[in-house]
Every structure is written in C-alpha cells, then in structure tokens.
Chain A
Amino acid sequence: MNARERLRRARAVLIAGVAVCAVLWAVAAGTMVLSLFAALEAAVELPSGPRTLALPLAGFATVAALGAAGWRSRAVRSREAVALWIESRVPSLRYALVTLEDARTAGAAVEALEARVEGTTWRRPLSRALARALAGPAALAAAAILVLALLPPAAVARVGRPRLDADLTGPVRGRTARAPLAISVAVTPPAYTGERAFTLEDPAVVAAVSGSRVAIDVRSAGARLAARLGDSALAVGGTGGGGGGAGGRRTLAFAMPARPAALRFLAEAGERIVAIEPRPDSAPTVTLTLPDRDSVLRTATGVVPLSAEFADDYGLAAAWFEFIVSSGERESFTFRSGVLARAALDGARRADRRAALALDSLRLRPGDVMHLRAVATDRNDATGPGRGVSATRTFRVARAGEYDSIAVEGLPLFEGDTAAISQRMLIMLAEALERRRPRLARDVTVREARDIGRDQARLRRRVSDIIFARLGDEPSGEHAHAPGEPPDEDQARRANLTPEQLLAAADSATTIAAGAERPLDFAADETPVVAINRPLLEAYNAMWEAGRWLEIGEPDDALPHMRAALAAIQRARQAERLYLRGRPPTVVVDLAAARLAGDRSRARSGGREPRGALGWHRARLAARLDAALSAASGSALVDSLLLLRLDALDRWPGFAAALGRAVADLRAGRDATIALVRAREAVAGESRASPGLPAWEMLP
C-alpha cells in the first residue's frame, strides 16, 4: 500500500469519526431538550401548548447539532486538509505526505517521498484524536439519556405523546371522526348509600357517588387497548379479539374518584372519552335549636336544655352534643371538654335529639366560658365519614365586680314649669287687687302686689327662654338666681334695654355676614328672626316694666304694661301661624325635544353593548369552546365538549350543564344549536341591546 492509498484510508476513517461525533452531539441535544420538558412536566404540569412543543424543539435541536458538528468538520472532505492534519500530528513526515498529495510532484521526487512516508506510521495519533473527539458528545448523550430514564415515566410519556394530552385539554384538531368504542358501565354505589347498582350502556357521562365501584366492559376493542383516568393509566383485563380484529372484550374497573376526570380509551378500533363525574356525599347538616343564643350567667346553676336537628343525604351514623369549658384569665387558661347524649342513629336521614346540661355538675366559676355545639357523623365508609357541626353557643359566667362597672345614664329631668300663671290671669289678679286697694292697708297691698309681681317675673322668664333660644343665645337668656342673690351683669344690662335696643342687639346678633350691607329682604328691613320675635320682645319688656310697678305696690300703674304684654303675646301667637315656604324648583322644558327638532348628534342607533372583559379562566373556556366548534365534528366534537365540561364542572356549573345538554343532543343526533348558544352565553355573558332613543330618558 503506497502513501496515497494510506492517506485515503485515513481520510475515510476520519469521515466516519466525524459522522459518529455529529450523531452523538445530535442525540445529546435532542435528549436534553426532551429531558428538560419532562422535568418541567414532572415539576409543574405544563399546559398543552408548551407540551406539544417538546418534540419539535427536540427535533430541531437534533438537526441543529448534527449540522453544526458536520459543518465544523467539513475540512475532512479534502485530502490535502487530511494530509496536513496528519502532518501536524506526525512531524517526522516533514511534509512528505503533503508534497506527495500535490499534483505537481512527479518522477524521482515521488519515489523519495514514498520511501520517507513508508517508514512512518500514524495509526496511534489518529486513534487517539478520534477517541478524544468522540468522548465528549458520547458522555453528554449518555448523561441526557440517563436523566430521561430517571424522570417519571408518566411525565416523559406525556411529553413524548403530546397528542393524547392535547386531546385531554384542548380541542381535537384534524382528528377524523371514528366510530366510538362500544362500552357498558356497571356502577355499584357504596353499600352505606343503600342505592342499587345500575348499568349504563354507551354513556357519555358516568355520574355516581364518590367511592362507587365502576366496572367497564369494552367491546370491539381489538387486540390492543389502553385506558387512562385523568393522568393515571388503568389496568385493562380480558382478552382482545386477536390480530387486531373486532370482537375482543376488555374490562377495567376503578373507584369513582373524588374529582371529575376524563376516562380515555385508545384502541385500534377507535378511541373514546367518557366524563367521570363523582357526586360527593354531603356532610351532615346540624342545627342547634336550643339554646338559641349566647348568654351571660350571673350564677352557674340550673339546667340548660339542649336540642338539635340533624340531617344527611344518605343516613346518619351518630350524633351528640359537645362542650368546652375554658377557665382562667390573662395567660393562664385551662380547658375541659365533654360529650353529652351520644346516640347511634342507624342510618336515619333526619333526627332530633334533646338533652339537658346541668350547670352545677360542671362546677363553673366566675369568668368561665362554656362553648356548646352539636355534632353528627354520617355512614360514609368509602370516602368519609362526613362530619357536620352546628353553630357554637357561648355561655359566660359573670365575674363578681362586673355589674358594678356598668354605667347607666339617668333620664334628664322634665324642664316644664307648670306653676306659671298666664298673663291674662295676672291682669285679672291685678285688677282685683286694684279694686280692693281702697279697703286694704298699704303693707297688705304691697305684699299682694309683690306676689303678683313674682308670678309676673316667672312668666317673663318663660318668655325670655323662648326669645333667646330662638336668637341662638343660651337656652335661658335670663339667669335664674336665688332670692337675694344679685342679678348678674348681663341680666342687668338686658333689663335696662328698651325694646328697640334689644331688637337692635338681636338684629346685629343674627345678621349672617359680617360685611352685609343690609339684612335679608324682609319687610321694614327686618330679619325674619327679629320680625317673628318682635312681639315677644315687646311683651318681655312690658313685663319687666309691670314688675317694677308691682314691686312697689302700684298695681294700677302696672296694669297698662301688663295689658301691653298680653296684646304683644297675642300678636306673637298670630305671627306664629305664618309659615315660610320655599320656592318650587325651576323646571326647564326641552322645547326642541317637544317639537321633535332636537339635536340628532346625541341620538344613538340601537345596538348591542360590548360584553365585559372575561376573567382568564372564562376566556380560556370560551376560546376552547370556539376552537372545538370550529375544528371538530362528530365524536371528536363530543369528546372536546366533554373535556370542557369536566374542566368547567367545579367553577361554572351553568356552562357545564349547557355543555352536557349539547353533548346529549349531539349523541342523540339532534340539533345542538340552542344548547351550544346557551353554553356560549353562560361562559361569555349575554349581549345586551341598548335603547335607540335616549332623548326620552330624561330632561337635560
């Protein structure tokens, strides 16, 4: 073998090594991408969209790595490049190999070069270089494969078979409608429910109590059948028909799960989705009817009657009353608990229980708090037992000093002074005294006149209360004081005012704005307050004047002032009959609207209000409904709607119910338009028509 033949062989070996290296890089890259997606799937369940990207991305990574490795070693195609690569690793060749490869080398030179190359071998450097180049990608590929092998197989399977999960969570796209598998479902409810077992032929939805035993017989499945309930694979028993032909019977069984799930069959003969909808067993409802409210006990003695009502959908197992007593204060508390009147109810769906709690037996102390409630359990031995409790009643035993701290405000005393004599009566007394005066001694006249004067003063104070309360002053403008006590300065000042001065003072006190040029536009430049009070002010001052004359025993001089006071009071009474009225509001009529000549720019044509923004979950459901309706038909559409129903069952029962009706219609070959419209309205909201004639709504 001459030198040129040896070079060609070495080139072939290098090309093979480059190819193997590129393949290893490609395997490593693709496996790493799949491992990454599988790890994410295992950690957080990926949505169907990202999950379906796993395989394309892995393929892209594979091709990219393959291409990159090939491109990086593209020089291996050239013999000159291979010769130089060998020369660099075998310096003893001294460029003999490169020179031989040169086409211009001929004659004796060739023989000399051949002789030099013949004495040199490059097998070892070549093998070492190849091993070094392959070790890295081989190790990386092995590591990626190992990681993929260590990840949960279910996650890897979901990533590796995205179409299955796309079917489970998204619309069925491009799937041809195949005849569904024929199935028969036997449901055996838990024994405690007392319900009979039943069989469903070819159902779309299997609804039963949680914990029910569900056995499914799949006919015409063919040789291979796989079944998944949610994310879990189900074991399938029985035998296929052999050779993939029809006629095989396969069976599987499972317990009704706690949450809705899709049961999916994959077989050669077809595929099918059945909605598994568990009906939860409700916990017992308990109502504590006695005691009916919380309470505070002064002493913890006597008997507390207890009464409760219990109910359950499948039957009660037991019921009782519970109490907890907490004693202590601040950071030191102790607790006691107990059970009363526990009774077995033997599956009764309704029951009433009564009991009595003797407080003396609990030895409650002041400050103790007792909590009472009723409890019941049902007979659910499949997923339960369910436990129901009533509202809690609280009894507290009052502490010793507790009632002393309650503040009770007494009612205010009645302020009416019913001892006042009317002005008309005072005049009659004064007139009578004046008539008797010639026959009376002076001191008797003075004493009786002063008695009338005291009543006059009492009446004056009542008038004063009315006036000064209206003027915004203190309720009693005239201070009451004991006999002999000198009147205060303000009282004395008021007593010396003439009616005009008093009115002026009142007027200035009731002028609203400090800089007002004149009071409100009332008659004779008076404010309404002054006008209404003027007669009473006159009466007030006349009473003062009459009182002075009575004080010195001169009833005849007091009488004109007393009559003036009475006349003023009468005028005030008449003035009180007037009442102030507000002006009615001004209503502006829309004349243009009345003449049908309004501005058309304000008019709107009738239309529909845009729907409000949907939450992300409803928007996702609506989009899935739209996609299912546009992309699928036949059994694929039924399956998509069933999957949607399962997802919506918890949060959007109206939508799920409408989808259920649509599925029933589709399976029965009926028109499902109405049900689908209802489903759409349930998930996306109804459109609202807006009125087209807003001008009628209100006046501008």
Chain B
Amino acid sequence: MSRFVFATAQYESGDWDSAPLVPANITDTIARYTSIEVAPSGAIVPLGSPDLFRFPFAFFTGHLPVRFTDAERANLRAYVERGGFLFVDDHNHDVDGQFHRTATEELQRILGPLRRLPNNHALYSCFFTFEDGPPTTSHELNGWGDNLVHRYLDAVERDGRVGVLYSNKDYSSEWNYHPQSKRLFAVDNTRFAVNVIVHALTR
C-alpha cells in the first residue's frame, strides 16, 4: 500500500503556488490525527501531466484568473472521471473575484455544473463532525472581503462521489502556516482537511 502524498496541482496560468505552507501543514495534520501512512513532504504535479493520475487527491488554489490549456482540460476531465478528487480553494477573500469566476467557468465547461454540497453530507462527518457544514475561516469575517460567511461548499459529483470540491472560503490562507504554529491555536483549524482527505481516500 503506497503512502498518501499531498499533491498540489500546478497549472499554466495564475499562481498555483500561492499557499506554499499548506501541504506541510496538512501533512502534519494527517499524521497527527490519523493512522494514514503519509509521506513527510508533498508533491507538485502539473495538471496537464499524466503524473496527475498517481495522486488520488490534488489541491488547487490561486488568486489570479484561471485559463486551462487543452492538455490541462483533457487531463482534469479524465482525472475526475477515473476517481480523482480535486479540492479547489479560492485564495481570494471576495465573492465574485477573478479566480472564482474563471475557475468555476473552466470547471463547469469541463465537468458540468457545480452543485451545492449539503451540510449533512458525509464529508462533514467522515472523521471529525462538523454539524454546521464547512468550518468558517477567519478570512471570511476579517473585513477585507465580503463580510459574508459562505455556508456551503460546491462540488462536482460522479456516481455519488465527489470529484471536485470547490470552496471560496479561503482555506488556503487559513491553513497557510508552519505546522509548529498549531500549538498556538486553542482549536486546530486544519481538522477539516482531515475530513476532506479521508473522504477522498475512502469514497
């Protein structure tokens, strides 16, 4: 059984590497709470590369407009159809930013419409229990963005399985810190990542 590797998707446009500390932080979280065999460092995989199929889970983030190449579109479509799980997070703090508009447009063009994921979905209870759905990030209320809490996540599902999980709650900012700094939090704000990954690996 191979070890789980936290993969970050690299795409041609935009800033795919805007949250460089998230992989290490979530890897630390997985090791801390679960017995999943996990690699100590993450991997960067081009979205248009066949290497993408080596990773059942991929993290996708950025601030800037997203325009996929033809190879990236084809690869992403095949990835989701074959059982891959892409977690897309809008690194901006606004409602209708460049990333949100262009990324959702691209995803819908490739994979069909994004649908609201109900807050009683198994994703929210497969490891930790989040009764109110996706946990709120500090960036949703910090005055820089819309001052609105996004109550739901969106998803593209295939055969009852989540293929793309879309968030504009800015988990990229929320989780972008050194793992050692977790001890400074009263409640670990990366626990939701355990649910996402456990769900991705078990469904």
Contacts and interface: CB of A to CB of B under 8 A. Distances in A.
B118 interface: no
A548 to B, nearest CB: 39
A588 interface: yes
B38 interface: yes
Interface string A590-602: 1100110000000
Contacts of B40: 588-591
A590 B41 CA distance: 9
Summarize A's interface: helix, strand, loop or mixed. Answer: loop
A699 B44 CA distance: 21
Given A588-B41, A589-B24, A591-B38, A583 B180 contact: no
B183 A587 contact: no
A591 B42 CA distance: 13
Contact of A581 (B17, B31, B32): B17
A272 to B, nearest CB: 61
Contact of A595 (B21, B23, B31, B180): B31
A335 B179 CA distance: 73
A699 B27 CA distance: 14
A581 B44 CA distance: 13
Given A585-B20, A589-B24, A696-B183, A594 B41 contact: no
Contacts of B32: 594-595
Given A589-B24, A589-B179, A594 B17 contact: no
Interface string A553-587: 00000000000000000000000000001011111
Contacts of A585: 20
Given A583-B17, A584-B17, A591 B31 contact: yes
Contacts of B41: 586-589
A225 to B, nearest CB: 71
B33 to A, nearest CB: 9
A696 B15 CA distance: 32
Interface string B170-190: 000000000110010000000
A585 B44 CA distance: 11
Contact of B31 (A583, A594, A698, A699): A594
A594 B183 CA distance: 11
Scoring A586, A594, A696, A698 by chain B CB atoms within 10 A of each residue's CB, the highest score goes to A594
B94 interface: no
Nearest to A583: B44
Contact of A589 (B20, B27, B183): B27
Interface in B32-79: 32, 38, 40-42, 44
B28 interface: yes
B179 A584 contact: no
Contacts, number: 42
Interface string B97-108: 000000000000
A595 B180 CA distance: 13
A588 B20 CA distance: 12
A590 B125 CA distance: 27
Nearest to A592: B31
B186 to A, nearest CB: 17
Contacts of A587: 21, 23-24, 41-42
B110 to A, nearest CB: 23
Contacts of A696: 180, 183
Interface string A657-700: 00000000000000000000000000000000000000010110
Contacts of B31: 589, 591, 594-595
B27 A584 contact: no
A595 B183 CA distance: 14
A700 to B, nearest CB: 10
Contact of A594 (B15, B28, B42): B28
A587 B19 CA distance: 13
24 contacts: A581-B15, A583-B17, A583-B44, A584-B20, A584-B44, A585-B20, A586-B41, A587-B21, A587-B23, A587-B24, A587-B42, A588-B40, A588-B41, A589-B24, A589-B27, A589-B40, A589-B179, A591-B27, A591-B31, A591-B40, A594-B32, A595-B32, A699-B179, A699-B180
Interface of A: 581, 583-591, 594-595, 696, 698-699
Nearest 10 Cβ contacts at the A-B interface: A587-B24, A584-B20, A594-B31, A591-B31, A594-B32, A589-B27, A588-B41, A589-B28, A589-B40, A588-B40
Given A584-B17, A591-B28, A595-B32, 12 more contacts: A581-B17, A583-B17, A587-B24, A588-B24, A588-B41, A589-B27, A589-B28, A589-B31, A591-B40, A595-B31, A696-B180, A699-B180
